[in-house]
Amino acid sequence: MTYLSCYGVCIGVKQAGSMTGTSVANSFKSSQITQFPYGPIEFDAAGIRLPQYNLSWQNKNGTLMIAYTATFIKSTCVQNRCFEVSITAVNDIAWKNNRNPTLNECVYNGGCVNYVPYIIGGGVAIFLISIMILFFFYRRQRRLDAFRMHWKIVRSAIKVIENKQSSVKGKGGNPDATTLSSKRRVIPAYAILETTKAEFIALKHMSHIRFGKDELNYIMDLKRINHDNLTNFIGICYNDGDKFYILHNLVERASLEDYVFDSDFKLDETFRSAFLRDILKGLSYLHKSPVGYHGLLSLSNCLIDANWVLKLTNFGSY
C-alpha cells in the first residue's frame, strides 16, 4: 500500500506539474491512470477513485472463483459524484452450477414479480363485485316480494267470530292472581285464519282498489315488522266482498285501557315503568323502520299478552 501511495503521488505531481497538495489532488479529478502495475484506475469528478468489485465464491478446493465483476465508470454530469456501473460475467456457468437450487430463477435474473398487490387488488375487486351482485338480488327480491303480495288474504280464508265474552273481574273489590291472569279483552269480534287468531279493522269497501308501487312496498314493510313489543301484521283483504280488512295477530288478555280504567286493578310503579318501557321500545323500533310511525297510538292499541308484555297494534294503518 505504501508503494502504491508513493507511486500515485509521483504520478499526481507529474500530472499537476506542481508539488502543492491542492494541485496534486485536482490533477486526479475525472482522470484515468494507466501506469499502475495492477491495471488502470479511474477517478470521478471529485477526485475519488472509482472502485471495482468482484462477486466470487470459494470452491471445494479452496480456490476463489470470480463470477461477476462490477466496474465503476466515470460519467459526465453537473454533480461531483456521478458514475456508471458495468457488470461483466466472468464465469457465469460456474456461478449457475453453484448457486442455491431452491431459489427461483427470477431471483438471479431480476425477473421476479410481486403478485401480492395483484392478489389483494383482485380480492378487493371480487369482494366489491359480490357486494354489488348481492345488493342487486336483494333489491330485486324486495320488489318481487312486494308484487307477489304475500300479505293479501282472500275473504274465504277469513272466518269472523262474534265475541259474546264479558270481562272477568274479581269479587270483593281486590283481584287475586287467578282473576288477573284470566282477564280477557272485550272485543266485538275476531277472525280466524287457519290456526291463527287475528283482530281486524273492517272498513266498508267503496270502490275497486289498485295499489301503486310505493303502497305495495309500504305494505310489504309492514309485513316485515318483527319486534317483541309489536303485534305481527298478518295482511289485508281487499277487492273481495263489501269490506276492507286489516288484520293483526290477536292478543287476548287485555288492553292497557282495560287495566287503567279497572278500579279493582292497582297500577303500581312496577307495572307503569314496565308498560312505559315496552311502549317506548315498540315506538323506537317503528320510528327506525321503513314504516316510520304508529299513526293510531291509544290505550286500546296497547295490548298486554299472557306474559305481561305490552305490544302495540294497528300501527301504520292510517
Q: What does the DSSP assignment read for 97-135?
A: HHS-TTS-HHHHHT-----HHHHHHHHHHHHHHHHHHHH
- How many CB atoms are located within 10 Å of the residue 291 CB? 19
> CA-CA distance, 56 to 256, in Å (whole number)?
95
Q: What is the pLDDT of residue 284?
A: 94
Q: Residue 152 has what DSSP assignment?
A: B
Q: What is the pLDDT of residue 7?
A: 63
* Residue 294 neighbours by CB under 8 Å, 6+ apart: 283, 286, 301, 312, 315, 316
Cell output for 170: 274479581
Stretches in the chain below the pLDDT threshold 50: 166-178
Q: What is the pLDDT of residue 288?
A: 93
Q: What is the pLDDT of residue 19?
A: 67
pLDDT in tens, 142-168: 776 666 677 888 888 889 888 765 444
Residue 136, CA distances (Å) to 131, 143, 202, 208, 280 in order: 8, 11, 38, 34, 34
Cell output for 104: 427461483
In terms of Cα–Cα distance, which of 93, 94, 28 is closest to 63? 94
Q: Following CA atoms 102, 104, 109, 115 in sequence, which dihedral angle do they give, to the nearest 10 degrees?
A: -150
Cell output for 201: 279493522
- How many CB atoms are located within 10 Å of the residue 78 CB? 6
* Residue 195 one-letter amino acid: T
Q: What is the pLDDT of residue 231?
A: 92
Q: What is the pLDDT of residue 93?
A: 65
Q: What is the pLDDT of residue 74?
A: 66
Q: Give the helix/strand (H/E) hosting 198.
A: strand 196-204
* Residue 123 one-letter amino acid: G
Terminal Cα distance for the chain, rounded? 104
> CA-CA distance, 217 to 183, in Å (whole number)?
38
Q: What is the pLDDT of residue 169?
A: 43
- The pTM of this model reads 0.51
Residue 251, CA distances (Å) to 185, 307, 314 in order: 8, 11, 12
Q: What is the pLDDT of residue 155?
A: 87
Return the HEC string of 70-104: EEEEECCCCCCCCEEEEEEECCHHHHHHHCCCCCC
